Amino acid sequence: MKAIHLIAPSGASLDDKSPLAGIDWLKRQGIAIENAECVQRVHERFAGSDEVRLNEFNTLATLNPQTLVMAMRGGYGIHRLLPNIDWTGISKAVASGLQICGHSDFTAFQLGLLAKSGAITLSGPMLNYDFGKIDDTGKAIEPDGFMWKHFQSAIQERKLDCSVSASQVFLANSGGNKLTGMLWGGNLTVLAGLVGTPYLPSQQQTQNGILFLEDVNEHPYRIERMLMQLLDAGILGNQSAILLGGFSAYRLYDNDKGYSLERAIEAIRKRLPESIPILTDLPFGHQANKLTLPMGAQATLDYSPSGFTIKASW
């Protein structure tokens, strides 16, 4: 990995220090940073006007195919750009070797590209949080070692290999098994917002897939509601397995009276076909220790009541 081309397609940076700290750390690893000026853009809540951010997206089709593209941060903003993205040009660049990485709001672009072309992108770290996180005193926090290891494996070897040791209580009657399917998903709120649009991969594309989901700042009842939407839309029942990553930074209320994220998952489990396992503790989401997952690649999942292993090469 010699260079990273930054893009800022969603929200403006919430502070000045995070992107600069991330750029500094990456440069100290011997990585050249391209388009660094994008981290300074501000237009309302966005990292630039729609026109500027759209042009930055469409420029990806012209980059050196050996380039790694990384989003600055998430937030919101990509959905309004979807109708005018050069899906064909970008997918051709990916086929030639271009790698594109991000998560959170970036899920909208990744799912759109997968729906339009089948091109594989990377659901993984972004500049601000993962490489430029700042503590309460304004000091930069060293990037997570697990994240960095798996990010390098994905970028340099195009390989995913991770084992999770955690009790799995939502298997129903699926017990344990080994299966293969297309790995896809991302941020739950963003994915649910694409249901019924041409930017969500079709049920034919995702049939017998391995769906991974995560979210942040969403109370369990909202998570349950979005999962119910995916269930009633026929999406969850179309999968071979469902992997749940981090659902973080929410708080429960007095009137929840025992209701929790576990109760929300149980409600989905009761309605989901028992042959489809729901696996938890996937190290992915708005958290430091995250995998880099190949969105759209074929993956192998081996699971049991004591944990699971997921592997892919692309």
User: 236 with 211: CB under 8 angstroms?
Assistant: yes
Last residue of one domain, picked from the residues 88, 115, 143: 143
pTM: 0.97
Q: Collapsing DSSP states into helix, strand and coil, what is residue 42?
A: coil
User: 80 with 108: CB under 8 angstroms?
Assistant: no
Provide the percentage of residues in the chain whose pLDDT is more than 90: 97
- Say yes or no to pLDDT of 201 above 90: yes
- Using one digit for the tens of pLDDT, what is the confidence trace for 147-167? 999 999 999 999 999 999 999
Last residue of one domain, picked from the residues 143, 171, 203: 143
Catalytic residue annotation: 104, 214, 286
Statement to judge: residues 126 and 178 lie in one domain: no
Range of the domain at 247: 159-313
149 lies in some domain = no
153 lies in some domain = no
Tell me how far apart the alpha carbons of residues 3 and 251 are, in angstroms, rounded to a whole number: 39
151 lies in some domain = no
CATH of the domain at 49: 3.40.50.10740
Statement to judge: residues 134 and 225 lie in one domain: no
> Burial, 195: exposed, middle or buried (Cβ in 10 Å; 0-12, 13-18, 19+)?
middle
- Where does the pLDDT of residue 1 fall: very low under 50, low under 70, confident under 90, or very high at 90 and above? confident
User: 244 with 287: CB under 8 angstroms?
Assistant: no
- Where does the pLDDT of residue 71 fall: very low under 50, low under 70, confident under 90, or very high at 90 and above? very high
Statement to judge: residues 44 and 94 lie in one domain: yes
- Say yes or no to pLDDT of 138 above 90: no
- Using one digit for the tens of pLDDT, what is the confidence trace for 73-99? 999 999 999 999 999 999 999 999 999
- Using one digit for the tens of pLDDT, what is the confidence trace for 219-234? 999 999 999 999 999 9
- Where does the pLDDT of residue 174 fall: very low under 50, low under 70, confident under 90, or very high at 90 and above? confident
Tell me how far apart the alpha carbons of residues 136 and 149 are, in angstroms, rounded to a whole number: 26
- Where does the pLDDT of residue 21 fall: very low under 50, low under 70, confident under 90, or very high at 90 and above? very high
| Number of structural domains in the chain | 2
150 lies in some domain = no
Last residue of one domain, picked from the residues 112, 143, 174: 143
Statement to judge: residues 20 and 119 lie in one domain: yes
